[in-house]
Structure 1
């Protein structure tokens, strides 16, 4: 039985709307993987808060010890696995209720502007790019990508701030037993309510929040931040759980030198130093849940 006249009209309306938005597309940020009609993406035009798209993955994706064969691309800037989520109110990590990957969890509205799209790859130039970049960021692994999922929120709007635009992307990469995620950022306007970028796990055995991402006024600076020296990109290895005790054996220590204690304490420098140190340790194999503390030890003469 064919589609009703109303159904045909709605499909035509969505197609025309998607086409009109694509024609207004701007140059993609350098760090973004291919997306949109050029990449052959599946485009999802959703009503605010009400849509989560289930994707059957072509390859299993291991996320901190749990293997998933599908994922939900949720409207409000995050991916979940066991069930969809229409939560627009941001709960700051660690939450511990589910596995979630949030390139930018916000109250997203695409009813008037912006496109959410996604695409999977099992061969071609995207896999070549993923292989090269993961080996650059994690050089001790000799990694080969066999599957990639790219999900993009292109110029979507903050529900409470008409005319704002947020552009961000998450890339899931796997090969063998290894899994990685990239979070890429373009222009992002200041939002009106709470936001967050990072990931969380069941029971929060592993979680990470991109520094500053919970401050809605700092969101525009995401395109200038990185943990891999590529402005606008954050990269994480996510296949291993903290309790697996498989920290890389080649980590033997870290040495830092400062000219005085005031170098760390003045202007809040200590927090910046500790965060950069943590990023280097995570890149080298330590679990992302590692906590670094600073203690001043002062020598005294006997």
Structure 2
């Protein structure tokens, strides 16, 4: 069938537009460390969900006092250490369980629909330089040099039973001897009705953290702009469990906050938001994420 000149023009225009969309969708988020086949990753394209990959670590990784020589990259968006996990029904932290968990985005992921999961370890090169610079920037009081890095990436993966959803996130394990850190990086994340959660938990939940808003599937896209280190889309934590992280005795912490009116603290639901923001500030100061904040009294005084 012959097309009129106008039809040919429209066909070319639509084709170029579609190509532009594909190119933009494949661009890597700014905060991500190098990943994928281009970076030399081991790429795991599974035909089933509930898949886990054992990674034998080149260097020991210390996680809140426990030393691990292996980890499992689970398709459901979490790392475990003692055993693989096929659980896609998220349990809210603290679980008080028997497993250490690092969950950049724990939910029901199905990579048979679209997306890939990849990982790579580094013991030299530019990635270690990048990790060293990042940790020095976020934790300036520490004399740190990265000696090992593991990057695990879920790139444009789909939620189970929801075709067309694309969500990208990444977790970076960084070690330098006895010091250990994790970075959680976020790209575009689709809204999901599935149960979801981001953060980490430890055996018996002696330390844990939930990224604010990450348990609400409709708020997941906000991870792209959230941070505890003033880098949109990135959360950073020290996780070796050093003395300063687990011992509050003798420490006095001052936090300055501003509210617009007294009703900001007394209105129903407002105080929970304030306490959540306050806890974020305390975690930035390397206090244990397991610290519970409760309100005992509100008193209005004259300035």
TM-score by length of 1: 0.85
- Once residues 206 and 154 of structure 2 are traced to their aligned partners in structure 1, the CA distance between those partners, rounded to angstroms, is 28
**Matched residue, 1:165:** 166
Cα RMSD (Å): 2.5
Q: Highest Rg: 1 or 2?
A: 2
Matched, 1:55 2:55: yes
Q: Retained in 2: the 8 A contact 1:223–1:232?
A: yes
> How many angstroms does 1:81 deviate by?
0.3
**Matched residue, 1:182:** 183
Higher deviation after alignment, 139-148 or 163-172: 139-148
- Once residues 160 and 82 of structure 1 are traced to their aligned partners in structure 2, the CA distance between those partners, rounded to angstroms, is 29
- Once residues 42 and 96 of structure 2 are traced to their aligned partners in structure 1, the CA distance between those partners, rounded to angstroms, is 31
> How many angstroms does 1:256 deviate by?
3.9
The 1:290–1:23 alpha-carbon spacing in structure 2 relative to 1, beyond 3 Å, is same
Show CA shifts across 1:129-156 (max 9, x none).
1111111111111211111100000000
> How many angstroms does 1:160 deviate by?
1.4
Q: Retained in 2: the 8 A contact 1:200–1:207?
A: yes
The 1:44–1:143 alpha-carbon spacing in structure 2 relative to 1, beyond 3 Å, is same
The aligned length equals 279
Matched, 1:110 2:111: yes
Q: Retained in 1: the 8 A contact 2:41–2:119?
A: yes
The answer for unaligned runs of 5 or more in structure 2 is: 1-21
Q: Retained in 1: the 8 A contact 2:50–2:87?
A: no
**Matched residue, 2:39:** 39
> How many angstroms does 1:242 deviate by?
8.1
> How many angstroms does 1:183 deviate by?
0.6
The 1:94–1:111 alpha-carbon spacing in structure 2 relative to 1, beyond 3 Å, is same
The 1:161–1:59 alpha-carbon spacing in structure 2 relative to 1, beyond 3 Å, is same
**Matched residue, 1:73:** 73
> How many angstroms does 1:74 deviate by?
0.4
TM-score by length of 2: 0.85
Show CA shifts across 1:212-268 (max 9, x none).
111111111110111111111111111107897445977543344556422334584
Higher deviation after alignment, 66-75 or 233-242: 233-242
After superposing on structure 2, the runs of 4+ consecutive aligned residues of structure 1 that deviate more than 6 Å are 22-25, 241-244
SS at 1:173's partner residue?
A: strand
**Matched residue, 2:196:** 195
- Once residues 53 and 259 of structure 1 are traced to their aligned partners in structure 2, the CA distance between those partners, rounded to angstroms, is 50
